[in-house]
Each structure stands twice: as structure tokens, then as C-alpha cells.
Amino acid sequence: MNTRRERSPLGNPILIGALTVLAVIVAVFLAYNANNGLPFVPSYTLHVQVADANELTHGAEVHMGGALIGFVDGVSPARAQNGQPIAMLALKLNRSIGHLPVDSTFTIRLKGSIGQKYLAVGLGRSQRTYADGATVPERQTGATVDLDQVLSMFTPPTRAGVVASTVGFSDGLAGRGTSINDAIGAFVPLLTDLRPVARNLASPNTDLGGFLHGLEAFSGALAPVASTQASLFVALDGTFRAFASVSTPFLQQTISDTPPSFQAVIADTPTIRPFLTDSATLFSELRPGFATLPRSAPVLANAFAAGARNLPGTVALDQRLVSLSQHLQSYGQDPAVQQGLDRLTLTASSLRDPLAFLTPVQASCNYVTLFLRNLASVLSESTSSGTALRFSLVAIDDVLGGEAVPSSHPYTTPVTDPTAEHGPLHVNPYPNTDSPGQTPECEAGNETYSGAAADIGNVPGNQGLKTESTGSKAK
């Protein structure tokens, strides 16, 4: 009896060959895309602006703290906001690192002395992070100096200069071992004194690191205007060349005269300080006038132009003014005139305080003008022979204590009868007129009369500075 044995699928050579070919294709695909990360694995994407890609290419590694965290997915040209050409790096990073802080730094470095480059990430400490697909600004990126860049500064003239310097140093030091030993021994006090200086520099309170970071930021700010600074130094070279042509004797004499000039200024400053103070006060008071110059300058220009046109016609008047000035000069030198002027000055000085007290009587209260106007009104009663003084009889009651009866004290009794022709005394011999030391008010003529009580002296309250205005009437 024949038995039929079932065959396993893995024993089929065609199936095994197909699986082998598929595995090889998958391995080749994974190896080809190894720099782009594993397929179907989510990644954290960032775009980084750099001033120069520095030979960083697609597929370059991204490291943080020595660990591989992603790859450079692409390098493309771009422009900064000021129009400068830059490079834009597209990064694919592992999701496991999370979102990077916004103060993280990105530096292009060499894997070895000469060879492939990678992007090193310096992790920041900020609480804010870059979102997926965000762009890192150029100010947070940089690159190390390549060895070929270091060696490129040794041009043939530089190499010749280094050789000459080495030979010169060797000739200068030859046979001077004892002097070098003495110099090293002399450095001991210097190092001893340097210890507290180094301790202060190392102190956290000194913040030497902050100073160096600030210096780095300052240098970075100057980098965009390096060409402008270079042109400035070129222009300064021309300026100093012009100074060199007049250095002797003009600049030399100026430098020699500067210390004595400074000493003279220092010695004379206490003397001229009042003049400088008065000048500052004068210019401060002239400031409102200077502010009106944009409006008044054209008017003044027109006035000067009109004066220039009229000056030829004033020659005769000018000659008479000169003669008058000469006569006034001789008159003013007369001893009798000088004595009179001295007494007039003394009189004006004596009148200063009374005038200062009386000026507000007219300036604030208009009392002088009102008095003259009322005085003219008093003499306005016409008669056959001119004008007469107008007056009216005042009828008074014969009341005990009233105006018509002798009394030992002023009549201050309130009015009880509204028809009575007598009332309490109202008198104010020294009313306030806004003079120095007085209440700022025009009291005379503004007091209100009350028959209920007497008012003797200054009345309560402030009567204000308003009085009756006067002016000429058109006829």
C-alpha cells in the first residue's frame, strides 16, 4: 500500500527564493533610506537658518550631547530679512527628544580633523519650545573653524614672516639663559599679586562669563557692518595722512599749548562761573523768543530790508544824533550832573518799596483810574459860570449813640426798623489791594453792606480781583 506524504510550504524552493528576494529588497530599501530615518516612524521637523552650510549635506547626522537624534533632510538656499543669502537646513529629529527649547543653539562641527560634518545641538533652558515645523533664526546658529581655514591664513608672505620671526627670536634668546632665569624669578611677585585678581575674576559676583557673552554679542552685532568699518578705517587713513602734513609745527604746538590752556581754564573757572551762570540764565530766558523765530524771522527780515532802503535818507538825522550823544557825554561828565544822578538814584531806591506796595493798587484793582474818573464826575454839575461841585445833604437822626450824638464807642447797634435812617458802622480804612503782604483781593468798593451788624476793618472772605473797568468812549 502506497502512502502519500504531505509536503510543507517551506520546502517549496520557489517560495523560499521569492521570500529571500523580498527580504533583500527590503534591506536594500532600508539601507538606502537609513539617513532619512525609518519609514512610517513619526519625526520632529525643524528648519534652521545658517549663514553658511559649510559643506553640510543631505543626510548629515544631528547630535545632541554625543547621541544621534536625527538627520539633515535637506539643504536649500534662502534669503534673510535684510536680503543676505543664507542656507536653510531641514531637520528630521526623533520624537523621543521632545520639543527643543527656543534658546537652543545649533553648531556645524567636524567629525574629525578632516572629514564629514554634523550638526551639534546645544540644549537650552527656556520654558518655551519650538513647535513642529518651526524655523530657528540665524542668530542661534554657528560653525566651528575648519582646519583648512586655519591653514589658509599662512600665505607665502605669512610663512616667510613666521620663519624670519622664529630666526629673530632664536638670535635674540641665544646666550641669554641667565637673563631668562632672572626674568622668571622676577615673575614670582607678579604671580603672587595676580592671585587676588584671579580670585576676583573667578567670583560669581564678577560675572566674567556674562561679560564675555556680552562681548560676543557686541562682536556679533558689529559683524554685519564690518565692510562699513573697513571703509571707515580707510577714510581715517586719509584723514591722518592729512594731519601728518601739518603735524609739525602746528599740531605739535597745539599739543604743547594744551596743558597750560587747561591750567588757565582751571584757575579762571571760579572767576568766570558767575558769567557762565548768567549766560545760562540769559539763554534760558531767550528760549521762548527763539521758539518764535520761525514766525518772526520773515517779519524781521522784511523790517531789516525796509530799514536798509530807508537808511540813506537818515544820514542827516544820524549826524544830529551823533552830535547829541557827544553833548550828552560831556553833560554826563559834569560833577553836578553826576551828583544829581546819584541823588536821583537814591530817591528811586527809596521809592522802590512804596512803589512796589502801590503798584498793585492800579495794576490789579484799577483804583487810580477809577478815582480820577469819579473826581471828574464830581465836577460835572454845570452852572452859568462853569461847573460846580455836586453834593447832597445827608440827614441823620438824633439817636443815642448815633452819628449826630457824642458817643464813647462806634455805633454798632443793628437796624431793627427797616425805615430807619441810621445803621451800624461800616468802615475799612486799609482795604486789601493785592499789595505785598496783603490778601490778593480788591476789597475797597466790593464790600457788601449789612444793616444787621457792624463791619470795622477787613471784611471776611475774599472779594476777588475784579473791579469796574474804564476806557475811552468814542464820540
Residue pLDDT, tens place only, 153-182: 888 888 888 888 888 888 877 777 788 888
| Whole-number pLDDT of residue 101 | 92
For the chain, the domain total comes to 4
If asked whether residues 102 and 190 sit together in one domain, one would say: no
| Whole-number pLDDT of residue 1 | 46
If asked whether residues 66 and 135 sit together in one domain, one would say: yes
Mean pLDDT to the nearest integer, 94-98: 86
DSSP calls for 2-34: PPPPPPPGGG-HHHHHHHHHHHHHHHHHHHHTG
Place of cell 465836577: 379
If asked whether residues 48 and 138 sit together in one domain, one would say: yes
| Residue 352 lies inside a defined structural domain of this protein | no
If asked whether residues 233 and 277 sit together in one domain, one would say: yes
Mean pLDDT to the nearest integer, 207-215: 86
Instruction: Flag whether pLDDT at 2 surpasses 60.
Output: no
Instruction: Flag whether pLDDT at 276 surpasses 90.
Output: no
| Residue 428 lies inside a defined structural domain of this protein | no
The mean of the pLDDT values for the chain is 81
Residues 6+ apart with CB under 8 A from 81: none
Of the candidates 206, 184, 209, the one whose C-alpha atom is nearest the C-alpha of residue 196 is 206
Q: 313: which 3 cell numbers?
A: 535818507
Instruction: Flag whether pLDDT at 408 surpasses 90.
Output: no
| Residue 36 lies inside a defined structural domain of this protein | no
| Whole-number pLDDT of residue 128 | 92
| Whole-number pLDDT of residue 378 | 73
Lowest mean pLDDT among 181-185, 287-291, 339-343: 181-185
| Residue 349 lies inside a defined structural domain of this protein | no
If asked whether residues 54 and 127 sit together in one domain, one would say: yes
d(CA 296, CA 316): 31
| Whole-number pLDDT of residue 104 | 92
If asked whether residues 264 and 309 sit together in one domain, one would say: no
Alpha-carbon dihedral of residues 95, 100, 105, 109, nearest 10 degrees?
Answer: -10
If asked whether residues 111 and 80 sit together in one domain, one would say: yes
DSSP calls for 351-375: HHHHHHHHHHHHHTT-HHHHHHHHH
| Whole-number pLDDT of residue 130 | 92
If asked whether residues 140 and 54 sit together in one domain, one would say: yes
If asked whether residues 319 and 235 sit together in one domain, one would say: no
If asked whether residues 120 and 67 sit together in one domain, one would say: yes
Instruction: Flag whether pLDDT at 475 surpasses 50.
Output: no
| Residue 308 lies inside a defined structural domain of this protein | yes
Range of the domain at 257: 228-291
If asked whether residues 136 and 113 sit together in one domain, one would say: yes
Place of cell 425805615: 419
| Residue 381 lies inside a defined structural domain of this protein | no
| Whole-number pLDDT of residue 47 | 92
If asked whether residues 320 and 248 sit together in one domain, one would say: no
| Residue 359 lies inside a defined structural domain of this protein | no
Instruction: Flag whether pLDDT at 106 surpasses 90.
Output: yes
| Residue 253 lies inside a defined structural domain of this protein | yes
Q: 307: which 3 cell numbers?
A: 530799514
Of the candidates 97, 95, 75, the one whose C-alpha atom is nearest the C-alpha of residue 87 is 75
Lowest mean pLDDT among 177-186, 302-311, 320-329, 330-339: 177-186
Beta strands in 111-228 (DSSP E): 117-122, 135-136, 141-143
Q: Decide: pTM greater than 0.75.
A: no
